[in-house]
Structure 1
Amino acid sequence: MPTVSFCADELNLSPNYFGDLIKRETGKTAQDYIQFKIINVAKERVFSVNKSISEIAYELGFKYPQHFTRLFKQKTGLLPLEYKNLN
């Protein structure tokens, strides 16, 4: 999963400045904003019939699918498969 430092480096900014910009524009911490964006992408990919939850987790940069599942549930209140079946 992309870190604040990674995103800041990609934009040629310091992590602190990047975090300040994100906080000013969104009201969220940089880490929360990154997680928000990743979960939005994950919500779309969960509906892909030909991909498992593990494949989606790896595509999004998670080292372990369990970490993806835990973050997904923390942010949405549902496990990825529950979300898929609900919608």
Structure 2
Amino acid sequence: MYLSPNYFGDLIKKETGKSPQEFIQFKLIELAKQKIFDTEKSIGEIAFELGFKYPQHFNRFFKKTIGKTPGEYRTANLN
């Protein structure tokens, strides 16, 4: 795309109203929410698929953002 990081960040901010980091985190959480409903996979497997080095980091990130752990979110929304 040949865009500088700063220019790309400015475009993201202009289009979404979020910083690039906020936008990436938002997209990551949306993808995580989808993957959590695949009960064939453990939360740890999902964490690794999303690029987290340790499942604990994914759990902490998810809980901080959503207010529930991935396991709690899965259980509460499967019914």
In the alignment, what sits opposite 1:49? 39
Q: Can you give the 5+ residue segments of structure 2 that lack an aligned partner in the other structure?
A: none
In the alignment, what sits opposite 1:66? 56
Q: Can you give the 5+ residue segments of structure 1 that lack an aligned partner in the other structure?
A: 1-10
Q: How many residues align?
A: 77
Structure of higher CA gyration radius? 2
CA distance in 2, matches of 1:52, 1:81: 9
Q: Does 2:20 match 1:24?
A: no
TM-score normalised according to structure 2 size: 0.90
Higher relative contact order (CA 8 A, sep 6+): 1
Tell me which amino acid in the other structure corresponds to 1:63. K
Q: Cα RMSD over matched residues?
A: 1.0
In the alignment, what sits opposite 1:4? none
Give the direction of change, closer, same or farther, for the CA distance of 1:69–1:12 in structure 2 (3 Å limit).
farther
SS at match of 2:51: coil
TM-score normalised according to structure 1 size: 0.83
